[in-house]
Structure 1
Amino acid sequence: MSEIITIKNLPENERPQERLLRYGAESLSNAELLAIILRTGIKNENVIQLSNRVIKTQGGLNGLLGSTAEDFKEIKGIGLSKTAQILAVAEISKRFRSYKSGVDYKISKPKDAADLVKESMKSLNKEVLKIILLNTKNVVLCIKDVSMGSLNSSIVHPREVFIEAVKKSAASIIVCHNHPSGDPTPSKEDINITCRLKECGKLLGIEFVDHIIIGGETFISLKEKGIV
């Protein structure tokens, strides 16, 4: 019976951990970095080979960092423990690149809002709607997920959008959602929902500042388009 090959079983000059400490993390491939996190391979496949297969299966590093637990269920060699390890690192990466933890983050222009959520949304394979809650000085109070799935009026109900704003006594909100296709061009439904939410905001006394659509590395502000 073949044994499970760990990093320690590899020749010393091939061990990712030793190479990282000697030459720096930037010298390692994506598969080698993932191998350090996963630690062990499986029968007939060392940890670097396993890591390389996982990255390819998920469509590259961006796909890996945008994956959910469900995405790993059918990947041989990735059980619950390794799934949790990957998802934890992915979340740390998103938080580091997207959120200004412990520091006030002020929204002065649409790009500020887009930069705040883009890293966590650009690689998602489903549409997700988030709201950014702001105080009277346009400082971010928090960011909340509202819905997941195709964006339409039956899923995006004003009640779900504004309930957190009321709870947090937010002065205004910015709605953000992603287009998995990578094209941020607003659909007719996107525009209809925007207009509906803007009117509801007026009734509640909570300003609807903007609707940001993320498409890969790009974004569109419906405020800049004159729709909000």
Structure 2
Amino acid sequence: MEETFKIIDLPENERPRERLFRYGVGALSNSELLAIILRSGSKKENILNLSSRIIKKNGGLNGLLNSNLDDFMNVHGIGKAKAAQLVALIELSKRFKSYKDGDEYKISSPKDAVELVMEEMRSLKQEYLKVIMLNTKNMVIFIRDVSIGSLNSSIVHPREVFCDAIKKSSASIVICHNHPSGDPTPSNEDINITYRLKECGKLLGIDLLDHLIIGNGNYISLKEKGIL
């Protein structure tokens, strides 16, 4: 059986867990925090070096949050077990910041909707369009991705946007999409799509409350801009 470097093999004053108890979790680096979760390195590399390399290879913490199983499996020293640990950690971190736990969540402002999707969408490498569906009390009842890729009217078809909203008897929807560039400034196509979906919603009796464009930690509400 291949021997691996474990945290216990490090000098005591360099062990992340011991440093956590002595100095507090805030004193630990990102690599040390990841090392505590993964626990062991490989035959040729200790866990601190491996953790540091994982973070660096995936583009820092933001890149890490947008990585998947294949990304991790392509890192030398990462097998199925560690890849599974990493994607589980990423999913938990996203769920801490988003509505996925079944609790009731009310949308009273654009910021409320942004808080549901920001952590998941801010570092995506492609454009995603999400539909947040609400009941008559503006409580979230369902969230769905309806498209991936550059947004244009040929991809974003109203029937896809409103399909689940009709099935769920939604009273209204909020649509959100990200700009991978990090700049949430709306394009002409973004605005045209918004007008089209607003008119379709009127015919269906499902109000389009807002179109939110997500950047890297910032956003623009087309309702607040007076476009909706």
Q: If the length of structure 2 is used for normalisation, what is the TM-score?
A: 0.93
Alpha-carbon distance, 1:102 to partner: 4.7
1:121-200, aligned counterparts within 5 Å? Answer: 121-200=121-200
Contact 2:40 2:46 in 1 (8 A): yes
AA of the residue aligned to 1:221: S
AA of the residue aligned to 2:108: S
Q: Counterpart of 2:80? A: 80
Q: Residue 33 in 1 paired to residue 33 in 2?
A: yes
CA deviations on 1:80-108 (whole Å, 9 max, x unpaired) are 22222111111111111223745422111
Alpha-carbon distance, 1:124 to partner: 1.1
AA of the residue aligned to 2:119: E
Q: Matches of 1:208 and 1:97 in 2, distance apart?
A: 24
1:55-94, aligned counterparts within 5 Å? Answer: 55-94=55-94
CA deviations on 1:22-78 (whole Å, 9 max, x unpaired) are 332222110011111212212321111000011111111121112222322432112
Q: Matches of 1:117 and 1:20 in 2, distance apart?
A: 31
Which one is further off, 92-101 or 177-186? 92-101
Q: Matches of 2:101 and 2:39 in 1, distance apart?
A: 29
Q: If the length of structure 1 is used for normalisation, what is the TM-score?
A: 0.93
Q: Matches of 1:10 and 1:73 in 2, distance apart?
A: 25
CA-based RMSD: 1.8
Aligned-residue sequence identity (percent) comes to 67
Q: Counterpart of 2:105? A: 105
AA of the residue aligned to 1:161: V
Q: Which structure 1 residue ranges, 5 or more long, are not aligned?
A: none
AA of the residue aligned to 2:121: M
Q: 1:226 to 1:129 in 2, by over 3 A?
A: same
Q: Counterpart of 1:96? A: 96
Q: Counterpart of 2:209? A: 209
Q: Matches of 1:133 and 1:87 in 2, distance apart?
A: 27
Q: Matches of 2:153 and 2:194 in 1, distance apart?
A: 10
Q: Which structure 2 residue ranges, 5 or more long, are not aligned?
A: none
**3-state SS of paired residue (1:5):** coil
Q: 1:139 to 1:26 in 2, by over 3 A?
A: same
Contact 2:5 2:41 in 1 (8 A): yes
Contact 1:31 1:48 in 2 (8 A): yes
Contact 1:67 1:124 in 2 (8 A): no
Alpha-carbon distance, 1:183 to partner: 0.2
AA of the residue aligned to 1:222: L
Q: Matches of 1:168 and 1:227 in 2, distance apart?
A: 27
Contact 1:127 1:179 in 2 (8 A): yes
